[in-house]
Amino acid sequence: MSKIIHVNDLPVFDIAQYIKTDADVAEYLRQVLEEGDSGELAAALGHIAKARGMTEIAKASGIKREALYKALRPNSQPRLDTVLRVCKALGVKITATVAD
């Protein structure tokens, strides 16, 4: 007989634990950008910043840590300036290509 597992007993999934390399960061952002959801982009940048260290990213971007948490929470609508500053602090660029 199998054991019943309750949802509340499952571990919380934290993608930040799996973002280890620059290639992981680039692929994660590529996939999120391909989907085109700005709220998901903010969340993804937040996950990456968490993986890299939110305090360090805040310092490198010139954005206060508390403001960074607020700007990069899921479904937020950060300004383009904020996104670009965070990307620069993370060492990534957002580029454009011709659409299919």
H/E element holding 71? helix 65-71
* Model confidence band, residue 39 (pLDDT cutoffs 50, 70, 90): confident
Q: What is the pLDDT of residue 2?
A: 83
Q: Which two tokens stand for residue 16?
A: 């930040």
Q: Are 62 and 33 in contact (CB under 8 A)?
A: no
When pLDDT is averaged across residues 45-59 and rounded to a whole number, the result is 95
Distance from C-alpha of 69 to C-alpha of 32, rounded to nearest angstrom: 19
pTM of the model: 0.83
CA distance linking residue 33 with residue 69, whole number of Å:
20
Cβ–Cβ under 8 Å, residues 46 and 74: yes
Instruction: Name the band, by pLDDT with cuts 50, 70 and 90, for residue 15.
Output: very high
Residue 20 clears pLDDT 90, i.e. is over it? yes
Q: How confident is the model at residue 1 (pLDDT cuts 50, 70, 90)?
A: low
